[in-house]
A = this chain, B = another copy of it.
Amino acid sequence: MKLANMIGDRFKERPADCIIDSHALMVRGGYIKHVANGIYSQYPILKRITAKIERIIREEMDAVDGQEVLFPVVLPGSLWEESGRFTSVGRELARFSDRNGSSLVLGMTHEEAAVQLVRDYANSYSKYPFMIYQIQTKFRDEARPRAGLIRVREFTMKDAYSFHTSREDLENYYYRVYKAYERIFERAGIPEVAAVQSDSGMMGGSISHEFMLLTPAGEDSIAICRECDYKANMEAAECIVENVNRLAMGELTLVRTPGTKTIDEVGAFLNCPVENTCKAVIYQRNRDDKYVIAFTRGDLDINETKLTNLLKEDIHAAEICEGCGLIAGYTGPYKLEGDYTVIYDRSLKNIDNLVCGANIEGYHYTGFSMSRDIGDVEYADVSKIKDNGICPNCRKPAISISRGIEVGNIFQLGTKYTKAMDMRYLDKDGQLKYPVMGCYGIGVGRLAAAVCEVRHDEYGPIWPKSIAPWQVHLCCIRVDDPGVRTAADALYDKLQEEGLEVIYDDRDVRPGVMFSDADLIGAPVRITVSPKNLARSCVEISSRDKSVNTMADIESAVPAARELLKKCT
């Protein structure tokens, strides 16, 4: 198509409200239009990219025996009541009533709809296993949409649901999809995407993986072992700590520590390493504001997701008011009295001679021992794994914390939904059983943005050829020169005849404008027809990543472009 006709503006200035590069480039390049908070329209250039991504996803889902279906965007609230999620999911689930007062929701994921679709059909073991998927719009009323297409409220998602008669069959199939996901990301131009173990969150189920594209712009933190192949989302990474400064049992002593509100201040005041302190982090349950006190070792931080999963309750940072019984900065496990939920992190197990708050303003204890002074309590893993922490797999202190964008996820759901929604099948043995489910998601727009995030330079995206909006960008410099116009027009026709996807810039604009627009559009190969080169019967052929810039005889421009395209990733 001709660039002059393409809808969308391109401009040079980085918009002030864009924190990450992919967002800025997608605004600057005329890819997206902001409609409302976390809601965008797609211009033609982005639609071409997402259509290609969708095709790759379809091919790979079909290759693992997926059957494409279509679920509704608008679902009856009653269906979500069947699974229990109508009440358990918070405000990210958009709810409204229709003209008759019936409750409706906007599907943010489609487990309920998937079960409803196949509940009657899959009534015998002989119908299993099978997988259904859709590519459909979803709406999730995120509290904080950000970073362009990375975290939005409305998005196009491929979501797939598999049904099995055994956990083994689910596991086998799960790893087939795992491999299919690796192929999808490789084909989309980001083979470096890594599968990490993840927390299953509100999806239920046990084993799950997130596919992470590592980039500093990512909003997820991932623990990666430098020594083995362990990779996990921070929320799923077990925090293993050794009692580094193993001190002998000491005497429990109340000491005055005025004005030491933070653990670092206490450590400094008492000249004690933070690894030998016990820290209190205080939350409140959303449900009733009851206090939750998590104790961990002074050098560690609490992971709120781990704590939430343990409590099975949503929580928020506590407000500590007068009369609540808690002394901010001086809360400790010893003689802590009141109706609080108390959680002890595993880092405190078998540890003696600690400094901890005394629950008296201005006082701490020294010589505190968990086993002697508190006795037998349960310990849980609620702390964050740290950089250089111990790998839960190989047990070496080789953990690196990286940031990444989650571009896909897969879950072994088990029977959570089939039980809740009473989906059963008659097994070979004549028994009625609940099928086990897996579910598998990829956000299409987020994937496009993620590719842009790791495949760009200061001038624009460098699209992998598999998802580039066009393969070839043809520039005609000095379109007012009849010879140049004729040669460029002929080349445009020829490139198209030979099956190449071409965007043709025949505008009467300066070369600088043409080239910066070409960089923002990001086609892998650019061909430039200009008076100077045409005088030598040549055209300039260059790659978007600027690694190749060469001349070709105009007669061999098409094969030369094709050759360069072959070399592009």
Contacts and interface: CB of A to CB of B under 8 A. Distances in A.
A73 B73 contact: yes
A161 to B, nearest CB: 11
Nearest to A47: B68
Interface size class of A (residues with CB under 8 A): 35 or more
Given A44-B67, A94-B98, A121-B7, A36 B76 contact: yes
Given A41-B113, A79-B35, A143-B99, A73 B137 contact: yes
A459 interface: no
Contacts of A100: 37
A442 B75 CA distance: 23
Nearest to A2: B65
A153 interface: yes
Nearest to A66: B44
A283 interface: no
**Chain A interface, >50% SS class:** mixed
Contacts of A96: 94-96
A172 interface: no
A166 interface: no
A139 B99 CA distance: 13
Nearest to A152: B72
Interface in A32-74: 33, 35-37, 39-44, 46-48, 50-51, 65, 67-74
Contacts of A74: 36, 39, 94, 106, 139, 153-154
Q: Which of A74, A117, A122 has the most CB of B within 10 A?
A: A74
A472 interface: no
A502 B51 CA distance: 25
A125 interface: no
Contacts of A132: 7, 44
Interface string A82-116: 00000000011011101110101010000001001
A122 B30 CA distance: 13
Contacts of A33: 116-117
Contact of A116 (B35, B75, B91): B35
A563 interface: no
15 contacts: A5-B130, A8-B121, A35-B76, A37-B102, A39-B74, A39-B75, A41-B71, A41-B72, A42-B70, A47-B68, A51-B68, A74-B139, A91-B99, A95-B96, A99-B143
The 6 closest A-B pairs by CB, nearest first: A96-B96, A42-B70, A44-B67, A36-B76, A91-B99, A39-B72
Given A35-B116, A39-B76, 8 more contacts: A7-B118, A36-B72, A42-B69, A44-B68, A48-B68, A73-B73, A73-B137, A99-B141
